[in-house]
């Protein structure tokens, strides 16, 4: 079920909110868990079954840490979620890479036939973090399986994050049974309305521009550059809008979810970018992989490993592996020339970082040969007779201006009242978004 649909906005969400607040407070947790299962199972019942099995497995195995050795128990605890993730997401890639025979593929036909469950990478990482934190004695095993299931399946962040730690949300889940606690309706509706508007009007409209150019065949350098930079903002605002909606939805259900973005395109270097982009994933990889590998003690090796994992987390394919290596390379280059890079003017650092990041996104949207052809077109400096309509560049220019000059802390994440706190603005943004739902697309990160 997508946020940007009438089914969710006019049916599912209102019903869940109304029931959530009229039922006895002590039953809210169980109801929220049930609602999340309905949300996830609406599109694929098989995916829901495996989600429930994974939660039960995690619940049972984490109690084994109380009786059995840590290392062996941890292997058991994380094995099933990782196996399910591999079978659904990476099996086909591995079989294709080794040129497996038809008999071998036939043996795995059951898993190959199932569509990749939405958000499987996100909830798998939450299952892993919970098991690892129990193993490290940072938290104790949760005895209330409904509470654990709600943590894993909470529908606002189930499909595309943010990736939440159990220690972050455990006490919040306990407070759901407090009748005195009131939802933050103002900010909740504000974030939802702005998020939907940005998704439908900005991210998806950029996608339409890009598709129109691709369908007509890219013919010159200007068109190629437009595609590169337009997609950079499309993927950012697509994912940013989802995360903002998730935070808004959380507020409606008395839960605070963490920010997942901190204006990453204002980063001054590739390393800083990964502290600002998909923050919960970056810190998950840092805490559970990078530091456990030794951190800075083997910097080059560990950077290569974590970005390889980051690439594979985003998708099963060589282009995602290359994308991870691409980012690792520039992080290592920055590490090597840090003193010279850091003395550059801030705007130069920001521009260089933005260009590096933008050209990396091509591996997400294009196949190898397509992206190579696109890059060849850019460096050919051929402009031809076809002129890209001025409205394309004007629209992209407005988005660029807004992004780089209207900082979020001044108008969105602030305690000061702005025009975006006006209920009429919220209503207008929601109304406009709903009008264009029919042209909207599925969130890009749903595939991960």
> Residue 368 and residue 319: Cα distance in Å, rounded?
7
Rg (alpha carbons) of the chain, rounded to whole number = 23
Q: Tokens standing for 107?
A: 């043996």
Terminus-to-terminus CA distance in the chain, angstroms?
15
- Omega into 162 within 30° of 0, i.e. cis? yes
Q: Which residues are catalytic?
A: 314
The total of other beta-carbon atoms located within 10 Å of residue 339's CB is 7
């Amino acid at each position: 079920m997508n946020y940007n649909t009438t089914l969710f906005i006019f049916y599912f969400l209102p019903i869940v909110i109304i029931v959530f607040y009229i039922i006895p407070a002590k039953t809210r947790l169980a109801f929220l868990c049930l609602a999340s299962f309905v949300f996830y199972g609406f599109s694929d019942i098989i995916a829901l079954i495996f989600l429930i099995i994974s939660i039960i497995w995690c619940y049972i195995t984490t109690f084994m840490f109380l009786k059995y050795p840590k290392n062996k128990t941890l292997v058991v605890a994380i094995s099933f979620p990782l196996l399910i993730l591999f079978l659904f997401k990476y099996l086909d890639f591995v079989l294709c890479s080794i040129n497996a025979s038809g008999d071998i593929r036939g043996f795995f036909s059951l898993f190959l036939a199932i569509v990749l469950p939405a958000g499987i990478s996100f909830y798998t990482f939450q299952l892993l973090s919970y098991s690892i934190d129990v193993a490290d004695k940072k938290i104790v095993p949760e005895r209330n399986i409904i509470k654990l299931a709600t943590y894993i399946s909470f529908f606002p962040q189930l499909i595309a994050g943010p990736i939440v730690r159990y220690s972050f949300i455990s006490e919040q889940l306990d407070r759901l049974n407090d009748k005195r606690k009131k939802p933050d309706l103002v900010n909740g509706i504000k974030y939802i309305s702005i998020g939907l508007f940005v998704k439908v009007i900005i991210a998806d409209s950029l996608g339409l521009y890009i598709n129109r150019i691709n369908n007509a065949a890219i013919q010159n350098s200007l068109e190629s550059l437009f595609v590169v930079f337009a997609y950079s903002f499309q993927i950012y605002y697509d994912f940013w809008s989802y995360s903002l909606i998730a935070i808004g939805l959380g507020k409606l259900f008395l839960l605070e979810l963490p920010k997942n973005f901190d204006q990453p395109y204002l980063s001054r270097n590739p390393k800083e970018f990964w502290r600002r982009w998909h923050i919960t994933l970056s810190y998950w990889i840092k805490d559970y992989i990078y530091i456990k590998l030794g951190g800075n003690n083997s910097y080059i090796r560990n950077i290569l490993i974590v970005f390889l994992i980051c690439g594979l987390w985003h998708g099963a394919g060589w282009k995602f592996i290359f994308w991870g290596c691409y980012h690792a390379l520039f992080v290592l280059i920055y590490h090597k020339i840090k003193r010279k890079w850091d003395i550059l003017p801030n705007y130069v650092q920001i521009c260089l970082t933005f260009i590096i990041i933008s050209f990396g996104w091509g591996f997400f949207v294009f196949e190898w040969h397509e992206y190579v052809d696109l890059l060849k077109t850019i460096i050919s400096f051929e402009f031809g007779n076809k002129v890209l309509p001025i409205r394309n560049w004007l629209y992209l220019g407005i988005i660029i201006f807004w992004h780089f000059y209207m900082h979020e802390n001044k108008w969105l994440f602030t305690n000061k009242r702005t025009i975006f706190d006006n209920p009429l603005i919220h209503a207008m943004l929601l109304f406009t978004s709903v009008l264009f739902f029919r042209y909207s697309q599925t969130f890009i990160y749903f595939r991960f």
